[in-house]
Amino acid sequence: MIEPNRQGEVWVFAEQEDGTIPDVVLELCGKARALADQLGVKAGAVLAGSDRGSLPAQLIAHGIDNLYVVEDKRLEHFQTSPYTRIVCSLIQKHEPQIVLYGATALGRDLAPRVASEMRAGMTADCTDLQIQDVTDPRTKQVHENLLLQIRPAFGGNIIATIVNYDWWPQMATVREGVMPLQEPDLARSGQVIAEPVELDDSLFPVKLIERHIEPRTVNLKGARVIVAGGGGVGSRDSFKLIHELAGAIGGAVGASRAAVDGGYIGKEHQIGQTGTTVRPALYIAAGISGAVQHRAGMEESAKIIAINTDPEAPIFSVAHYGIVGDMRKVIPLLVKSLKERR
């Protein structure tokens, strides 16, 4: 644990693999920039690996002022122990007030370990982060400029705001696609600071023999148009209609959890709280009720069209256009009309 430091920077852990930074890190750099501006402090990032390559320029262009770089041949691939040691050493040295991580497999492994070692708090899977003064209801003490860590709780039925009065740094993980990705500003300048962190060989107990990387079969995050089917589609066979409409309109195929659980399509297509978060230009939801856990992953879409037999379905509360009807009748008509226009 470090003492609350009001001048501390706002940090992002800049995870990278094979010299590539995932989008979530760049999204968090933009958020860190905004939070740091509000607090009147600098935005920082920690980059560890065997070779920094051109990553510093990318991070600085996305809003980072101070980039702390740890380079070591043994850091070529992520390993929990040395990375935990690096982040903890740098936190102890520079005392940031906030540290943000992507809620990726790597971030979900690293962040809780850092939290445990630092005896700090950590909120997983935040959907929003804000700065605000907070009164401790027990002591009535006002804590200025705390990080509000906002996330769905109790199965998404409530939105919880979590604050951390004194177990600093304030830390959170955020899923990819939740924060908007800001345009890079190539004219920005920042400082790259090489950090010598002692890493004993005992911190590398795992020897990597071979790596297999599963190719991504579906890119929902990058899709401009998504056609998603839900439990109301009724069967794997009827789900072909969703594929057909997606094909006709040039979109990707998404699904609710009911459709995935029903075996209509694979889990990698699931959108929502425990699936992917998307913000396409157009989202068509067919046979999806619009449960809060599904809406959490799609309600930021620019335009939403819902097709549902139930006029009271919650999906209509976030839809810009609604069609009350049986998707098995509506979709063939839409496909026919799209084909005729072509």
Q: Which residues are annotated as a binding site for FAD?
A: 256-257, 270-274, 287-294, 308
For ligand FAD, which residue of 81, 89, 161, 274 counts as binding (CB under 6 A)?
Answer: 274
Distance from CA of residue 43 to its chain's centroid?
19
For ligand FAD, which residue of 58, 123, 127, 270 counts as binding (CB under 6 A)?
Answer: 270
According to the binding rule CB under 6 A, does residue 81 interact with ligand FAD? Answer: no
Helix/strand/coil percent split, the chain, to 5: 30, 25, 45
Q: Kindly report the backbone phi and psi dihedral angles of residue 308, in degrees, each rounded to the nearest multiple of 5, phi listed first.
A: -155, 145
According to the binding rule CB under 6 A, does residue 291 interact with ligand FAD? Answer: yes
DSSP tag of 182: P
* Shortest Å distance, C-beta 330 to ligand FAD: 7
* Shortest Å distance, C-beta 8 to ligand FAD: 34
According to the binding rule CB under 6 A, does residue 294 interact with ligand FAD? Answer: yes
Sign, Cα dihedral of 268, 272, 278, 283: positive
* Shortest Å distance, C-beta 326 to ligand FAD: 4
According to the binding rule CB under 6 A, does residue 177 interact with ligand FAD? Answer: no
According to the binding rule CB under 6 A, does residue 158 interact with ligand FAD? Answer: no
The answer to whether 68 and 204 are in contact (CB under 8 A) is no
Identify any residues that bridge with 252 across adjacent strands, giving them in sequence order. Answer: 226
Sign, Cα dihedral of 171, 177, 178, 180: positive
Judged by beta carbon, residue 153 or residue 208, the one nearer ligand FAD is 153
Contacting range for ligand FAD; rule: CB under 6 A; set: 96-104, 124-132, 196-204, 226-234: 226-234
Q: How many whole angstroms separate alpha carbon 129 and alpha carbon 138? A: 23
| CA torsion angle 134 136 142 144 (round to 10) | -40
3-state SS, residue 82: helix
Judged by beta carbon, residue 97 or residue 270, the one nearer ligand FAD is 270
Task: Return the structure tokens found at 226.
Answer: 């998504």
According to the binding rule CB under 6 A, does residue 246 interact with ligand FAD? Answer: no
Cite the annotated binding site by residue number.
256-257, 270-274, 287-294, 308
Contacting range for ligand FAD; rule: CB under 6 A; set: 71-79, 101-109, 193-201, 268-276: 268-276
Relative to beta strand 142-153, strand 158-162 is: antiparallel
The answer to whether 306 and 316 are in contact (CB under 8 A) is yes
For ligand FAD, which residue of 16, 123, 173, 273 counts as binding (CB under 6 A)?
Answer: 273
Residues 6+ apart with CB under 8 A from 20: none
Judged by beta carbon, residue 146 or residue 253, the one nearer ligand FAD is 253
According to the binding rule CB under 6 A, does residue 254 interact with ligand FAD? Answer: no
Interface contacts to ligand FAD, rule CB under 6 A: 155-156, 230-232, 256-259, 270, 272-275, 287-289, 291, 293-294, 297, 307-310, 313, 326-328
